[in-house]
Structure 1
Amino acid sequence: MKYVPLGRTGLDVSRVCLGTMTWGTQNTQADAEAQIEYALANGVNFIDTAEMYSIPPNAESYGKTETIIGNWLARNPSRRKEIILATKIAGMGLSYVRNGGPITGEAIISSVDASLKRLQTDYIDLYQLHWPNRNSPHFAKHFPGHISFTDVDRVAHSEQMLDILRGIDACIKAGKIRHFGLSDDSTWGINEYLKLSEKHDLPRVASIQNEFSLLHAKDWPYLIENCVHEDVAYLPWSPLAAGALTGKYLNGARPEGSRWSYAQRNGIFRDTPLVDKAVTAYMEVAKKYQMTSAQLALAWCDQVDGVSSTIIGATSLEQLKEDLDAFDMTLSPEALDDIMAVFKQYPLPF
């Protein structure tokens, strides 16, 4: 396993981050513990979760994943030091989470306490904002006309961000969290937080996790270049495009128990005719180089310049083993050329 800096935190994280959002709905406590043990045994030291998990999010599943991790930590307290543990505060819009209200400094403080209780730990290594208070171009809102930037009150949102930073600062000074990061945000969001933290001597953003894959690479090059030069770790989530790049959803297939067999909060927006065509083509490339299509997609993501640690999730131990093997694979220049030939045909299929 290779390790990389988590921004300027002084922490080194594995190139693979174990995502956990299925634990509690698609996966049991026993499933989760088997994945944790296997990941740790294979050099993974980075685990990502969120108060909103498990998914699909609803009032019943809220907090289940943190609770599962907490149960493991309670039985293995000496192993807490082996893990860089990341979690996230949910943004506005979920009626059962703070009445659907926005992220505030006060919400940060109360939510950190709640996560610590569920996780059964004294501190969180990386505390992230799951999505910003303003609309951001994620979850199929990246096409022109889907959201309006000019309607955003920049001053008001900057003031909210300053309030959030002060809440983060209070939690860091109390020893409850070590560092903070963003999720589903934009270049402007990163830079506004950097500007505010420098101006007011408040904690510096360490990382951002956004959706990034062969089917959804909109952060390349501009946001990723910004991350590289500002020392903000870039953490791709959904590198398999919610499982689409495995090929298991081709032609409308919905394997029993798979993620797409559940109702999704934002709909199954990755299910398009162009996605089917792109995935079919990537599967042919993978076959040519004697790897699975999932491994091809993950190895490609890992080799993108500027990517720090890729967040993977699995609903079975077999999937986790297959996925982890991808990070020991090196794509040849010829393989990369073949991948790019497909990418140029289908640069934005959803």
Structure 2
Amino acid sequence: MKYSPLGNSGLSVSRVCLGSMTWGVQNTQADADQQIGYALDKGVNFIDTAEMYPVPPSEATHGDTERVIGNWLSRNESQREKLVIASKIAGPGFPYVRDNSMISGDSIQVALDDSLARLQSDYIDVYQLHWPNRTSPHFGKHWLNQVKASTQDVAAEKDRMRDIVLGLGKALSSGKIKHWGLSDDTPWGIHTYLQLCNELNVARPVSIQNEFNLLHVKDWPYLIESCVFEDIAYLPWSPLSGGMLSGKYLGGARPAGSRWTMEQRQGLFRNTENAEKAVAAYCDVAKRHGITPSQLALAWCDQVDGVSSTIIGATTMAQLEENIAAFELELPEQCLHEIDEILRDYPIPF
């Protein structure tokens, strides 16, 4: 296993980050225990979760993924200090989570205590803002004029962000979190938080996790450049585009128990004609080079300059083994050239 610095945190994290959002719906406690054990044996030291997991989210299962991890930690206390555990506070979007309130300095204290109790831990290594309070161009909202920056009340947004930074400062001072990070944010969000941290003398964010994969490269190069220059770890989530890049959904297939057979909060917005064509082309490249489509997509993500660690997920052990093995691969130049040609043909397929 290879490792990279987690931004300016001083932590060294595995190039594989074990995602957990299926634990509690598609996966049982026993499944999660097996996944964690295997990942640790392979050198993974980085686990990502969130208070709103598992996915699809519901009031009945809210927080269950953190509970699953907490149950494992309670039986493996000696492993806690070896792990970097990241979790996330939810923003508005769920009536059953703090009455659909925005992230604030006060809500951070409440959400953090709840997460710590579920995780059965005294601290969280990286506490992340799951998405901005303002509507941002993520989750399929990246096409022209879907999100209009000109309609935002920038002063009010900055005031909310200032309050968040102060709340994070309290959490850092208390020792309940060691570092903090962003998720589903933009270059403006990154730089505004950096300015506020300097203004308020609070530690800077160490990471950001955004959707990034062969079907969704909008963070390259501009946001990723900001991350590299500001020493902020860039953590791709959904490197298989919701499983699409594995090829398992080609031709309208819906394997039993797969994510696309379950409720989708934003619908299957990735499932477009061009995305289907792009996936078929990437599958052909993978076949020519003797690897699986998933391994092609993950190994490609890992070699992108500026990527620090890639968040993977799996519902079966076979998938987890296949995915972790992808990070031992070095794609040959011919393979990368073939991938680039497809990217140029389908730069924004959904």
TM-score (norm 1): 0.99
Match for residue 194 of structure 2?
A: 194
Alpha-carbon displacement from aligned partner over 1:80-103 (angstroms, at most 9, x marks no partner): 012100000001111010111100
1:200 is displaced (CA, Å) by 1.3
Alpha-carbon displacement from aligned partner over 1:261-302 (angstroms, at most 9, x marks no partner): 001111111111111100000000000100000000000000
Equivalence map 1:202-213=2 (5 Å): 202-213=202-213
Q: Give the distance between the partners of 1:280 and 1:157, measured in 2 at CA.
A: 42
Match for residue 344 of structure 2?
A: 344
Alpha-carbon displacement from aligned partner over 1:299-323 (angstroms, at most 9, x marks no partner): 0000000000000000011100000
Alpha-carbon contact 2:5-2:11 (below 8 Å) kept: yes
Alpha-carbon contact 2:296-2:326 (below 8 Å) kept: yes
Match for residue 131 of structure 2?
A: 131
Match for residue 151 of structure 2?
A: 151
Match for residue 239 of structure 2?
A: 239
Q: Give the distance between the partners of 2:232 and 2:10, measured in 1 at CA.
A: 12
Match for residue 282 of structure 1?
A: 282
Runs of 5+ in structure 2 lacking a partner?
none
Q: Give the distance between the partners of 1:54 and 1:136, measured in 2 at CA.
A: 22
Q: Give percent identity, aligned residues only.
A: 59
Q: Give the distance between the partners of 1:287 and 1:252, measured in 2 at CA.
A: 20
Alpha-carbon displacement from aligned partner over 1:122-147 (angstroms, at most 9, x marks no partner): 00000000000001000111011111
Q: Give the distance between the partners of 2:265 and 2:307, measured in 1 at CA.
A: 27
Q: Secondary structure in 1 aligned to 2:151?
A: coil
Q: Secondary structure in 2 aligned to 1:279?
A: helix
Q: Give the distance between the partners of 1:69 and 1:268, measured in 2 at CA.
A: 29
Runs of 5+ in structure 1 lacking a partner?
none
1:251 is displaced (CA, Å) by 1.4
Match for residue 183 of structure 1?
A: 183
Which amino acid in structure 2 is aligned with residue 143 of structure 1? W
Equivalent pairs counted in the alignment come to 350
Match for residue 60 of structure 1?
A: 60
1:203 is displaced (CA, Å) by 2.0
Structure 1's consecutive aligned runs of 4 or more residues displaced over 6 angstroms after TM superposition are: none
Q: Give the distance between the partners of 1:198 and 1:88, measured in 2 at CA.
A: 23
Match for residue 260 of structure 2?
A: 260
Of the structure 1 ranges 252-261 and 291-300, higher mean CA displacement relative to structure 2 is found in: 252-261
Q: Give the distance between the partners of 1:202 and 1:152, measured in 2 at CA.
A: 26
Q: Give the distance between the partners of 1:166 and 1:252, measured in 2 at CA.
A: 48
Matched, 1:32 2:32: yes
1:325 is displaced (CA, Å) by 0.5
Which amino acid in structure 1 is aligned with residue 315 of structure 2? T
Match for residue 43 of structure 2?
A: 43
Match for residue 118 of structure 2?
A: 118
Q: Give the distance between the partners of 1:60 and 1:215, measured in 2 at CA.
A: 32
Of the structure 1 ranges 163-172 and 210-219, higher mean CA displacement relative to structure 2 is found in: 163-172
1:202 is displaced (CA, Å) by 1.1
Alpha-carbon displacement from aligned partner over 1:169-213 (angstroms, at most 9, x marks no partner): 111111100000000000000000000001110121110000000
Which amino acid in structure 2 is aligned with residue 51 of structure 1? E
Q: Give the distance between the partners of 1:62 and 1:273, measured in 2 at CA.
A: 34
Alpha-carbon contact 2:166-2:200 (below 8 Å) kept: no
Match for residue 305 of structure 1?
A: 305
Matched, 1:167 2:194: no
Match for residue 94 of structure 2?
A: 94
Q: Give the distance between the partners of 1:256 and 1:98, measured in 2 at CA.
A: 34
Q: Give the distance between the partners of 1:252 and 1:91, measured in 2 at CA.
A: 33
Matched, 1:293 2:293: yes
Match for residue 314 of structure 1?
A: 314
Q: Give the distance between the partners of 2:207 and 2:226, measured in 1 at CA.
A: 12
Q: Give the distance between the partners of 1:152 and 1:196, measured in 2 at CA.
A: 19
